[in-house]
Structure 1
Amino acid sequence: MHSKQIITAGTPLASAKKALIMIHGRGGSAQDILSIAQYLNVNDYALIAPKATNNTWYPFSFMAPLGQNEPWLSSALQVLEDVVDEVIDSGIPKEHIYFLGFSQGACLTLDFVTRHAARFGGVAAFTGGLIGDKIYPEHYTGDFAQTPVFIGTSDPDPHVPVERVYATVNIMKNMNAEVTEKVYTNMGHTISQDEIDHANRLVFK
């Protein structure tokens, strides 16, 4: 399972007033996802990027039956919970904790924050949706209290059906998140400049 391996950048956690937790995709790395920060309005944030064992958070599609991705999925969610606890222990409250993920990392990010809904600083998810062969509403509790969320995706995307993105948006809106989704025709499995612009305007403002 996953051990807690963290790469940090930006302002040291001990002196930062905001933190951005950045979750890489399948086959990516903590260093890869950290490189996106140079394009975001996060100059004064502590940047925290956990690293998945073997660069993969869970082995199968995010839409596989949940049991197929265990124990890796639960282990990955626990890594995020541990990171959030560490940030809070450093003196940064939840409302100043931000999340960003791409692809598998976006799925993990969305699933984690929706399992622990609260007033966070904001969430930017580039191509992702809630995890499971179907959506299990009983897994998701809490109140986002108008947390700003941006979800961008391509239609079509080879890994994330746009229907799952819409279903995710509906769940999060019902839990009082301020969600903006943007669907790009034939964008491909990547992060676009327009998504970065939206994230800066809506989340990292």
Structure 2
Amino acid sequence: MYTHKNDVITRGKPLSETGKALILVHGRGATAQSILDLANHLPAQDFTLYAPQATNNSWYPYSFMAPEEQNQPALDSALERLDELVKSILDQGVKSEELYLGGFSQGACLTSEYATRNARKFGGLLLFTGGLIGQQLVADRYKGNFEGTPVLLTTGDPDPHVPVSRVEETAETMEKLGAVVTKKIYHGRPHTILQEELDLAGKILSSVDKG
């Protein structure tokens, strides 16, 4: 088992210039650099980009639906690293509604778990093929209020890693905490990100008026 170092790649203009941040969390076996390349396909030019790097390129060792103890202490360490990154951005004067989080696969699972345990008004959540973590969901650990945060939540049907049932549970849990969820299930789609998903994510990132 392992703990994760505080290892983050940053790209784009300084936060003092942009005033808004996008955190992207890579999947199992991938890298911070590879998930940052995803931003090339998104309207993210006016964001300061952050991508944390997992130790050994994996946030936790087993499936996100394995018994939680099998994924410890790596899972708690990963959640702590994400929390430290979020707090460091907010401490620089960025409002939470100008903070966006996204990820693919294992990174989407980690992002959804973190955000739902710490629900607040984020700018948006871009969860490409992911869902909340655990063999069964522990409802009372999800706290706070998303206050209308837009969430994109996707998977394939079937997907080799992320079942539709968990995506539906995740959408329901987030909606109970005040998120506005766009759930997309793509029949026969491989474990990847489609152009339509990028377009939907782009709409969230491009939504200037947050009310």
Pairwise same-fold verdict (TM > 0.5): yes
Aligned to 1:139: 141
Identity of aligned residues (%): 50
TM-score (norm 1): 0.98
Aligned to 2:53: 51
Q: Which residue of 2 aligns with 1:28?
A: 30
- Using the alignment, how far apart are the partners of 1:130 and 1:175 within structure 2? 14
What is the Cα deviation at residue 55 of structure 1? 0.3
Change (3 A) 1:55 1:204: farther
Distance 1:44 1:199 in 2: 15
What amino acid maps onto 2:23 in structure 1? I
Please say if residues 41 and 204 of structure 1, whose CA atoms lie closer than 8 Å, have aligned partners that are also in contact: yes
Please give the residue correspondences for 1:118-137 in structure 2 after superposition, counting only pairs within 5 Å: 118-137=120-139
1:198 aligned partner, one-letter code? L
Letter in 1 for 2:191: H
d(CA) in 2 for partners of 1:133, 1:204:
35
Q: TM-score, normalised by structure 2?
A: 0.95
Among 18, 21, 24, the alignment partner of 1:19 is 21
Instruction: Answer yes or no: is the 8 Å Cα contact 1:149–1:203 preserved in 2.
Output: no
Q: Provide the rounded CA distance (Å) in 2 between the counterparts of 1:157 and 1:43.
A: 31
User: Match for 2:41: what amino acid?
Assistant: Y
Which residue is equivalent to 1:101?
103
Alignment-derived partner of residue 73 in structure 1: 75
Q: Name the CA distance, whole Å, in 2 between partners of 1:28 and 1:145.
A: 32
2:43, 2:205 within 8 Å by CA — same for their partners in 1? no
Match of 2:62 in 1: 60
Partners of 2:10 and 2:75 in 1: how far apart?
23
Match 1:187 to one of 173, 186, 189: 189
- The one-letter amino acid of 2:109's match is C
Unaligned stretches of 5+ residues in structure 2: none
Structure 1 residues without counterparts, runs of 5 or longer: none
117, 120, 124: which is aligned to 2:119? 117
Q: CA deviation at 1:81?
A: 0.3
